[in-house]
Every structure is written in C-alpha cells, then in structure tokens.
Amino acid sequence: MKYLHDIDFSGKSVLLRLDLNTPIDSGKVSDNERILRSLKTIEFLVDKSKRLIIISHLGRPKENNKIQPEYSLKPVAEELSNLINKKVDLAENLSDINETSSFTLLENVRFLEGEKSNNDKLAKTLSSLADIVVFDAFATSHRAHASTSGIISHSKEACAGYLIEEELYSLNKAFSNPKRPLVAAIGGSKVSTKLGLLNSLASKVDLLILGGGIANTCLLSQGKSIGNSLAEESMLQEAKRLSGNKKVIIPDKFMVLTENGIVVEKTTNEIEDTDQIFDVSEIFLRENEDLFQEAETIIWNGPLGMIEDDRFSKGTERLSKIISSSNAFSIIGGGDTIAGAKKANVLDKVGYVSTAGGAFLEFLEGKQLPAISCLENK
C-alpha cells in the first residue's frame, strides 16, 4: 500500500475522500472531531499539491442528484475554512467544480445516484476529477461505494492518507500482533450484530468481558434469570456456545430497575421476573480491575449499559477510567464507546481512539475492507 510520503504531488491535482460525517445543529457543526482528525492530511495536500478536491458524505440522504439542505456539507465547508484559514469553495454538483479553484469541497457525495451501488460510471467520473486519489476515510472503508473502493480502482494513482496509516498501525498493533495478555471488552445490545466479532475475539484474546444486552442473552442461555431485560431469544444457541468458552467473562452484578422504578444493585441470583438490567455494577468492575491492569493490550467496543440515562452510565464510565489508568496499549472504537469515555473525561488518556464504527468491527472480525483491499492492489 502506498502512503502520502510515497508520491510526488507537485503540480498534481488530488481527489481526497474523507469522512466528514459530522453532527450539524442549527446550521453549524456541533462536533468537529472528525474534521480535526483529517486536518493533517488536508494541510499536507494543500501544501504539496496544485489543486485539492475533497469528497465526503453526510448522513443518509436520498440518492436523487438533488441538494437536500438538511444533509448539505455547507456547514462543514465553513468549519473547515475557519480551521485552516483558507477559502473552501463548495461545489453543489460535479459540473460546478472550477479548475481554477485550488481548494474545493464537493457537496454530499450521497446525493449522487449510484454512490451506494458503486456505479462504475460514477466511480470513473469521480476518479477522473484529479491526477491522484487519496483515500483517508477509514470509517467508510468497509463499504464498497463509488466514492470509496470505486474511485481507488479507477484511479491512475492512489494512496492512503495519514488517518488510514494511523488506524491500520493501531489496529494491527492491538489485534494482529498484540502484546499479551490481550483483553477485550465488548458491550452493546445485540449478539446478532456482533456474532462474527465475538467469535473472532474469543479465538484470539486471552480474556473477553461482555456487557449490555449481549451479556443478558448469554445469561439467559445459561438458564439464569434476567427478569424483563433486553435479550435475543433467537440467539440463545450461539450465546450458549460463546458462554462456554473459558476465556469469556460474564458479569454477575448489575444495576437493575425494579417494578417500583427504583434502581438497585443485584446479583444474577437476586433478579426477579419484573426486574430490568440496565448496567453492569461498578462493584463487579472493581473486583475485576486487575484483569485490565495486568493486560498489555486492551480492545473495547460497546457500552456496558444504557449510557444515555445517567443512572445507567456508571459502569461504562468506570470501565473507561479503568482502561485509561492501565499501562496497556488500548484502542477503542464506536460512537457510544467514545461517548462513554468522553463522559468519564478520559478520552485523551486512551491509547488510540478509532474514528470508525462498522469498519473497526469488521477489521476485528477479520473481514476484508473493500477500500483497503483496493489500496493494497494499486
């Protein structure tokens, strides 16, 4: 795979695919983290290339070749312009891209018909906009879209940006060739959406700690009471097989909402039929803190409880603090996971924070990421 330092950009035009899918509130970017993580690549290309065209998506608009204001990248263009102190021209469609402009942001690429289906004609058209394609949107690398794997395949020359380089280095360090013990903590609501990940991790890690609805389903598969808690009965067979792995640890203490609306801590043996499990107990995490302190590598994805409710965010916050205080190399990924670490004010103390959700999980599952595969073959 080629990286930025492998290519001479002097006198060349560049098409840069980024993930600028940022939250917008009242016409302004409300969280510019993804833009900030892309700045290193942007500033390098502004300095080294003749002309830069950036493409990105935002949200999930209809593919109808029409501007949909609620999904417009206009606020992103304004934020980016302020951050780099340089005018960013926003092109509403492909025909509006001005060759005299040194810095252009194309409107939401998901407005274009054929983007998600990886339409060959659209991919060729996009890649022909510049001499070189630079792909730096790791969070979209698991999608075979026209603006991801499509533009790389049809490019004359292509390479990865700094963010891709960081992501792959950190993920390989944590998973492909980790220092051991390797401990993984996986939360979230459903076994079904993470079954591939769970099986992959169970075969490679030294310890796998579960939380959220995933833990509930595993408990139910063992014949234990979870009351009226979230679980997937259709996944009991898979959960039972997973629970039988000696590396897998399932919590035995939880924060429970009773029928009377009171939040209490209970062990699995104390849970009644009307109880609802909404978080892992901080006591359970303190009892098992040594597992993280003795680890050399930690992977974490998914909250342990319903973090949007302060009553049930304590487990996730406690886990954030435990991981951040460990001497292990740690990597976390997923929006809710990052939100939990932010809430605990320890995000800056984690070894590496991945920008990706789905791509992060698919990498850990051992799946091929289409855009990364295309970069490796250029």
Which residues belong to the active site?
A: 34, 190, 335, 358
- Please answer whether residues 185 and 161 qualify as being in contact, where contact means their C-beta atoms are separated by less than 8 angstroms: no
Report the sign of the C-alpha dihedral through residues 76, 82, 86, 89, in that order: positive
Question: Contact, 375 vs 135, CB < 8 A?
Answer: yes
Which stretches within 222-369 are classed as H helix? 236-243, 282-287, 289-293, 314-325, 335-343, 358-365
Check if the beta carbon of residue 206 is closer than 8 Å to that of residue 248.
no
For residue 113, what is the DSSP state?
T
Which two tokens mark 44? Answer: 């390098």
Cα–Cα distance measured from residue 289 to residue 266, given in angstroms and rounded to the nearest whole number:
19
Burial class (CB in 10 A: 0-12, 13-18, 19+), 87: exposed
User: How many of the other CB atoms lie within 10 Å of CB of 310?
Assistant: 10
Going across the sheet that includes 89-91, the strands are: 89-91, 103-106, 51-55, 13-17, 132-135, 158-160
Annotate 130-143 with b (16+ C-beta within 10 A) or e (fewer): bbbbbbbbbbbbbb
Which stretch of DSSP H or E encloses residue 97? none
How many Å is the Cα radius of gyration of the chain? 23
Q: Which residue has the tokens 């402009």?
A: 101
Residues 350 and 292: their CA atoms lie apart, in Å, by: 13
Backbone angles phi, psi at 184, to 5 degrees: -120, 140
